[in-house]
Chain A
Amino acid sequence: MGKNKKELLLGNEAVARGLYEAGVELVSSYPGTPSTEITESAAKYDDIYCEWAPNEKVAAEVAFGACVGGARAFCGMKHVGLNVAADPLYTASYTGVNAGFVIGVADDPGMHSSQNEQDSRHHAIASKIAMLEPADSQECLDFAKMAFELSEQFDTPVLLRLTTRIAHSRSLVTTGEREKRELKDFPKNPEKYVMMPAMAQKRHVVVEERMLALRDWAETAAINRTELNAGARIGVIAAGDCYQYAREALGVSANYLKLGMVNPLPVQLIKDFADKCERVYVIEELDDIIETHCRANGVEVIGKELFSRLGEFSQATVRKNILKAEPEYLSAKAEIPGRPPVLCAGCPHRGVFYTLKKLRCNVSGDIGCYTLGALAPLKSIDVSTCMGASVTSLHGMNKVRGSEFASKSVAVIGDSTFAHSGITGIIDIAYNKGISTVIVLDNSITGMTGHQQNPTTGYTIKGDPTAAVDLTALCKACGINRVRVFDPYDLSAAEQAIKEELAAEEPSVLISRRPCALLKQVKHKPPLVVDEDKCTGCTSCMKIGCPAISMKGEGKGRKAVIDFTQCVGCGVCSQMCRFGAICEGSGK
């Protein structure tokens, strides 16, 4: 990647390029859609040390340590990850930094791949940390670099907020060179870095003064840009993707105050802008943060009375709400069935969920591909909230509902999620004499976010072999005596293992072990085929909810058909067939 060359980069890739150019030495992150590619892309630069941490709290502390250690450091996460990292974040605000420290956080308005759509700007306000928000890939690169300048200038961590449509959109970027930076001296300054009451009380004063200084900076910063258009009477205040939607819908018929810094917000700049407009709209996805700020400072604006707190916006949202314009479009007469996401053909989780449904288990679920086990026809998850909560929530349920409930209830948690925050739940169960049965769905990878290595896989982010957590030994060391492994492709073995561990009057951990079917190194069997003479059309094979099997034909001719483009020959469906109608294929 040469100097001043234009490239079509994903917002996340552009952030990574910005980290490289800013001379960042260390990146530690936990994957989470839509933030994952920042760290994956950063790992492609040999000059940056990158790692996947077990969770976001660890990642943020590692990056904080690196910045105290004298080098620019970054950690990236999705919005809910910032909750996990909130503990170090709120106190790093007090200590400030040595070299620059930037936290990238990607919000997911519309919940394309998330369990909630919280607005991470609240964390910036509550932790009293500056937050920048880019509106395209070039700004992703530029703002990432600027975040480090601000971090060092104002002695503060800086948050870089993306949303899905910025993180996962490609646009043209001009790249530059990497800045050469020396390691700063290691500080021996407990007054600043040891946060116990006497010191922290003094640092809080510094934090409040810093916020005022940052607000002054925001009043004149070039990234808070006023665009006045001849003849335009209305004004729009927006940041990030919302600015782009407004530009698309309103063009030069509006004036814009395009905010690049969303915390702290300027006051005089907003007042001056509003004075030049007949009417001012605040367009912001999720919560009314800019709007509330405007009103608190006596600026009349129109915001959430028109624009929803729910989901993501588009140019159509702006046209509908401001121009009262609806598009013309074509549509088919037929009712179009939905196409929800599904567990892939050959997914090792399928056998576990089929078995849990068959045994009528109560299932405490977790965050990952396997959350899809909640959907028809497997429909085998009863509750799922956040990372690691499967294990702990099951323990709580079992404590109040007793051993009969426990004997038909399990938690399911993936290998990466287990390393993230499942282990502490296992310790709680063992320590507090629980009897819960936990199934670790070990598919040898972090699946949902697109195949990242994790502490259980034996490989680093760069693909180098490394130590792997021994799940069996770990659980035993926590005090769980019953730990066993089964293959989820073998339905009878899975059923036997789950039944026996549910019956045990003590806690147990079952490890369902089989690599993700999408992993490149997994060798597949040829697609299976249906012997039409043997198939009776009974639909038993349909109960496993494999997207590669469907029923075709009418009446007595209605038979199961296997889609050769999807089937990976896992053989779970053939175990469902009493007539031996599903056979190994020739691969031709």
Chain B
Amino acid sequence: MENTCKVVDTFDIMIVGVGGQGTLLASRLLGEVMMSMDYDVKVSEVHGMSQRGGSVVTYVRAGERVASPIIEKGEADLILAFEKLEAARWLPYLKPNGKLIINTQEIDPMPVITGAAKYPENIIDDIKAAGANVITVDALPLAVEAGTAKATNVVLIGVMAKAMGIPKQIWLDAVKDTVPPKFLDMNLKAFELGYSR
């Protein structure tokens, strides 16, 4: 019964990056994977103004029952960061024993471009020093190897799939359901390069 449900454990993932990097597709795909494993799922997306080159975050939560669609500080079991400055920005949302996958790509935000701020040096060392359990990957060259820089998101999904220990076939099925058939081979290759790195 709805009226007697209890708070149960959930698995909480954040996908963070820069608007335009394809974080939305990654979160939808992850949502499909979680759904096919018979979990209750909530995926909270970002649309509108903040998408335009801004810092973007999507939340994916799975469990027996999920109430809130969003994840708060200290709650994420896993954060997949498409850009390293964004990894640092959202680090406080990671559970102290959670996993943080960082794409080492560097995209200057406008305050850095205009000279109003500096892109922090050695940011990944800084994140590690804070105590985070970090996995780094340089996904862009792998995506180019698969056929297009646009597949960077799928390379990163491959890395995340490996880190999560969910059967690979479930991910492959979700990739097939999510990407257009025309680009399927390229994306499967991108996934494989991320998964097997």
* Chain A residues packing against B (C-beta within 8 Å): 6, 8, 10, 33-34, 36-37, 112-113, 136, 165-166, 168-172, 225, 227-229, 241, 244-245, 247-248, 251-252, 314-316, 327-344, 369, 371-372, 375-377, 448-450, 542, 545, 547, 549-551, 563-566
Among A333, A339, A369, the residue within 8 A (CB) of B130 is A333
Q: Is the CB of B72 within 8 A of A168?
A: no
The total of chain B residues at the interface (CB under 8 A) is 72
In the bound complex, how far is the Cα of B99 from the Cα of A9, in angstroms? 28
Distance in angstroms from A330 CB to nearest chain B CB is 5
Nearest-CB residue, chain B, relative to A252 = B6
Given A8-B43, A171-B41, A329-B93, residue A337 in contact with residue B111 (CB < 8 A): yes
Among A8, A329, A372, the residue within 8 A (CB) of B31 is A8
Q: Is the CB of B94 within 8 A of A330?
A: yes
> For residue B70, which residues in chain A have a CB less than 8 angstroms away from its CB?
165, 314-315
Q: Is the CB of B74 within 8 A of A333?
A: no
Q: Is the CB of B93 within 8 A of A550?
A: no
> For residue A340, which residues in chain B have a CB less than 8 angstroms away from its CB?
54, 109-111
> For residue A566, which residues in chain B have a CB less than 8 angstroms away from its CB?
20
Distance in angstroms from B77 CB to nearest chain A CB is 13
* Chain B residues packing against A (C-beta within 8 Å): 2-7, 18-20, 28, 31-32, 35, 40-55, 66-70, 72-75, 85-86, 88-89, 91-94, 96, 107-121, 123, 126-127, 129-132, 140, 149, 152
> For residue A334, which residues in chain B have a CB less than 8 angstroms away from its CB?
88, 120-121, 123, 126
Distance in angstroms from B37 CB to nearest chain A CB is 12
In the bound complex, how far is the Cα of B70 from the Cα of A245, in angstroms? 9
Distance in angstroms from A144 CB to nearest chain B CB is 19
In the bound complex, how far is the Cα of B96 from the Cα of A34, in angstroms? 33
Q: Is the CB of B52 within 8 A of A563?
A: no
Q: Is the CB of B43 within 8 A of A344?
A: no
Distance in angstroms from A373 CB to nearest chain B CB is 12
Q: Is the CB of B35 within 8 A of A8?
A: yes
Q: Is the CB of A34 within 8 A of B131?
A: no
Q: Is the CB of B130 within 8 A of A331?
A: yes
> When A and B form their complex, which 3 residue pairs have the shortest distance between CB atoms, in order from nearest?
A113-B48, A33-B48, A251-B7
In the bound complex, how far is the Cα of B69 from the Cα of A172, in angstroms? 12
Q: Is the CB of A341 within 8 A of B35?
A: no
In the bound complex, how far is the Cα of B132 from the Cα of A328, in angstroms? 13
Point out which of B31, B48, B53, B132 has the most chain A C-beta atoms below 10 A from its C-beta. Answer: B48
In the bound complex, how far is the Cα of B73 from the Cα of A245, in angstroms? 14
Q: Is the CB of A327 within 8 A of B119?
A: no
Q: Is the CB of A329 within 8 A of B74?
A: yes
Q: Is the CB of A335 within 8 A of B120?
A: yes
Nearest-CB residue, chain B, relative to A250 = B7
Q: Is the CB of B88 within 8 A of A332?
A: yes
Among B48, B53, B115, B129, the residue within 8 A (CB) of A449 is B48
